[in-house]
Amino acid sequence: MRRLAAAFAAALLAVPAWGQEQAAQGNAAVLRALDKVNGHTMDAEVAIGASAEMFGLLVTVADCRYPAENPTGDAFAFLSVRDPNDGATHFQGWMIASSPALNALDHSRYDVWVMRCSSS
């Protein structure tokens, strides 16, 4: 199911539909992480190509895009989420801000999702 969702998201990003806005690339992604055990959240702005540790997970942002005509519109980012201790990859793929469950991190304790892209 996850591969199907990733393939669907990739297809949507690769070929713009008639009337669909073109995507602009941001300089960073604003992410939110949730510790499901204690309910704590944290936000981080992570530059493209950089990583940040969020609740013990290493989150790397490879790309962040948003509608060119609407910078406050729906963002999507390519993320990699790994365990820094053993290097295990928990997530790698596109995540869409308005639909994080479409292609979500599958972790027993933590959630990470995209809030928006930053272009400043």
Whether 114 shows a pLDDT value over 70: the answer reads yes
pLDDT tens track for 68-109 = 887 666 899 999 999 999 989 999 999 999 888 888 898 999
Structure confidence at residue 19 as a pLDDT band (50, 70, 90): very low
Nearest to 79 by CA among 66, 96, 62, 65: 62
- Using alpha carbons, select from 36, 10, 4 the residue that is nearest to residue 23: 10
Q: Where are the chain's structural domains?
A: 2-118
Closest CA to 58 of 46, 67, 69, 68: 46
Closest by Cα among 76, 73, 74 to 61: 76
Provide, rounded to the nearest whole percent, the portion of the chain with pLDDT above 70.
Answer: 80
Read off the pLDDT of residues 39-72 as tens digits, 9 standing for 90 and up.
Answer: 999 999 999 999 999 999 999 999 999 988 876 6
What pLDDT score was predicted for residue 2? 60
Give the whole-angstrom CA distance, residue 109 versus residue 85.
16
**DSSP assignment letter at 17:** P
What pLDDT is stored for residue 15 in this prediction? 47
Q: Which distant-in-sequence residues (6+ apart) come within 8 Å of 100 by Cβ?
A: 113, 114
